[in-house]
Amino acid sequence: MPSTTLLVVSALAALVGVAVYLPMQRSTTLFEGPSVVENFGMDRCKRVSGPAFCDDVRVQRNLNLGFLACDPSLPYRNFAASVFDEAKMKEDGALWVYDLNKSGSPAEKLTIKGFEGPFHPSGISFAPTSDDGTPARVVILVVNHVPLEMPRVEVLYYYPARKSLVYKKTISSEHFFAANKIAASSSPMVHQHDDTPSFFVTNDHGYNLTDWKRTYEEKYNLPAASLVYYNARADLAQEVGWRFQLPSAIVASHEDDSLWVAQAKGGTVDLYKSHVLSVEHQEQRVRSADTREPISIIWPGMMNEEIMNTKIFNVGLDYEPESMTLVTISHPKWNNYVAVAKEKLHSRDAAPTTKAGFILSKANLYPVRVGETRPKPRKDVVFDPEETPRRYKYKLFLEPLISNDGSDFGTPSAIAVSGGRALVSSGYEQGFLDCSIAP
Ligand SMILES: *[C@@H]1O[C@H](CO)[C@@H](O)[C@H](O)[C@H]1NC(C)=O
Ligand SMILES: *[C@@H]1O[C@H](CO)[C@@H](O)[C@H](O)[C@H]1NC(C)=O
């Protein structure tokens, strides 16, 4: 006859077993992906030549210019996939510019005037501009991975009339230890002398490359990564979000300091919004870095507003507020992507033996019955949300628009949307895609 203690201990062990097994099972399904990756929608895309090994693409929408962050050393520093050998990072990267008004024209490589030192760009973002027409100058923020050092953020000015890129300054912080993607904030906390905006940065991991805890973070896919906010007037950064699972893309949403975050290893796309929850904890009195006056700053209090369980490995994300278009780019099979990354680390220019494709999805709004998770009313003919508003709410659902098994294009790194078109960059392909996502 087993004792009560033994029964209780066995029950607890079973519970712990299930609690560990289920998330691991979920990750395995997410990383393995479907057995067959379908091919459709490639006729919407054309490949634009120019850059290779790109980690990010963003569109400055007033100018309708795409900027890509590309680096021949990217195969030696794929920190998001934890595949790297920093000693091999010799060649510098660059920003490339692509004019969406001149569709099909190649992208052009930009040199940075006044910049010296290693340049290995990851995330890019632009200071929001109120100019409706053509701004004379755009402030660009770029995450720069200097080998064996802490990543930093470079502030650059772009002058569209002369297609010239000029170095302004470098922003460093101990909180940028695994900095990856960046999103400028539309907060009025803008540096008064050089127009540097405040911004958010994601750390793709919770620990840096040399920290032994990172091994466990990778092995068990722990949600340990963070979100950092930099206040440009105070010249101070602080972590404002925790427990992310490989946050691979961030982009500003409708309101000030509200953000869409893609958690690649979580399979979700989340909306976070800043709230003042406690002035006592969020307010800080500082001497401003620009005018040297005492000012009071409020650190964002990031609250989750929405979680989209997409069940796919979203590596890139973009949102166009004017058209309310949300798009993602995903790895259909993360494991295949990592296999390609490992081969490329070994031999950058050899064709990989594994195929790692992509899926481009667009979010659509559907009415959903309260308490349910599926857009049932699509089948429900008598449904009218206007008449029964309390029983239904609108929810976003991601639906694939273009999918490729890697035969034509793959290993995506980011997506940018503008006026019914989407640019897709890739970590290991030559060139990038310019696709129509119009209905
Ligand atoms: C592209 O076209 C738009 C709309 O006509 C215009 O506002 C923008 O300045 C153009 N971009 C460039 C780089 O000329
Ligand atoms: C990485 O983290 C370890 C342990 O926290 C620390 O000792 C080391 O200085 C960090 N290295 C960098 C480059 O940030």
DSSP 161-216: GGTEEEEEEEE--GGGTTEEEEEE--SS---TTT-PPPEEEEESSSS-TT-THHHH
Determine which of 11-25, 64-78, 264-278, 389-403 has the lowest per-residue pLDDT on average. 11-25
Greater model confidence, 256 or 341 = 341
Answer whether residue 79 shows pLDDT above 50. Answer: yes
Q: Residues 34-436: name the CATH superfamily.
A: TolB, C-terminal domain (2.120.10.30)
Place of tokens 């680096």: 71
Answer whether residue 30 shows pLDDT above 60. Answer: yes
Query: Is 249 in contact with 265 (CB distance < 8 Å)?
Result: no
Determine which of 2-6, 86-90, 330-334, 335-339 has the lowest per-residue pLDDT on average. 2-6
Q: Per mean pLDDT, which of 96-105, 282-291, 360-369 is the most reliable?
A: 282-291
CA 22 vs CA 19, 37, 158: distances in Å: 6, 25, 49
Average pLDDT over residues 40-46: 98
CA 222 vs CA 16, 34, 123, 246, 262: distances in Å: 16, 23, 23, 9, 16
Amino acid at 351: A
Token duo for residue 35? 């057995």
| Whether the CB of 208 sits within 6 Å of ligand 2 | yes
Q: Ligand 1 test: best mutation among 61, 63, 100, 126, most atoms within 8 Å of CB?
A: 63
Q: Give the closest residue (by CA) to ligand 2 atom 12.
A: 150
Place of tokens 């790692």: 356
367-375 long-range contacts (CB < 8 A, ≥24 apart) are: 367/392, 367/393, 367/394, 367/395, 368/392, 368/393, 368/394, 368/395, 373/309
Q: Give the closest residue (by CA) to ligand 1 atom 12.
A: 63
pLDDT band at residue 381 using 50, 70 and 90 as cut-offs: very low
Ligand 1 centroid to Cα of residue 421, in Å, is 15
Ligand 2 centroid to Cα of residue 210, in Å, is 6
Average pLDDT over residues 290-310: 95
Amino acid at 12: L
Cα separation of 376 and 44, whole Å? 29
Cα separation of 32 and 59, whole Å? 31
pLDDT band at residue 383 using 50, 70 and 90 as cut-offs: low
Could you read off the pLDDT of 215-225 as tens digits, one per residue?
Answer: 999 999 999 99
Round the CA-based radius of gyration of the chain to a whole number and report it.
22
Identify the helix (H) or strand (E) that includes residue 29. Answer: helix 4-32
Q: What is the pLDDT of residue 17?
A: 78
Instruction: List all residues 6 or more positions away from 175 whose beta carbon is below 8 Å from its beta carbon.
Output: 201, 203, 226, 228, 237, 238, 239
pLDDT band at residue 25 using 50, 70 and 90 as cut-offs: confident
Cα separation of 226 and 240, whole Å? 8
Q: What is the pLDDT of residue 133?
A: 75
pLDDT band at residue 390 using 50, 70 and 90 as cut-offs: low
Determine which of 126-130, 246-250, 337-341, 344-348 has the lowest per-residue pLDDT on average. 126-130
Answer whether residue 32 shows pLDDT above 50. Answer: yes
Average pLDDT over residues 206-214: 96
Q: What is the pLDDT of residue 18?
A: 76
| Whether the CB of 64 sits within 6 Å of ligand 1 | yes
Answer whether residue 361 shows pLDDT above 50. Answer: yes
> What are the beta bridge partners of residue 45?
435
Cα separation of 91 and 96, whole Å? 16
Identify the helix (H) or strand (E) that includes residue 26. Answer: helix 4-32
Cα separation of 63 and 301, whole Å? 32
Could you read off the pLDDT of 144-169 as tens digits, one per residue?
Answer: 999 999 999 999 999 999 999 999 99
Average pLDDT over residues 269-275: 96
Q: What is the pLDDT of residue 52?
A: 96
Which ligand is nearest the CA of 132, by number? Answer: 1
Query: Is 250 in contact with 181 (CB distance < 8 Å)?
Result: yes
Q: What is the pLDDT of residue 388?
A: 62
Token duo for residue 44? 């919407």
| Whether the CB of 142 sits within 6 Å of ligand 1 | no
Cα separation of 21 and 41, whole Å? 37
Mean pLDDT of the chain: 93
Nearest atom in ligand 1 to 160's CA: 13
Q: What is the pLDDT of residue 13?
A: 83
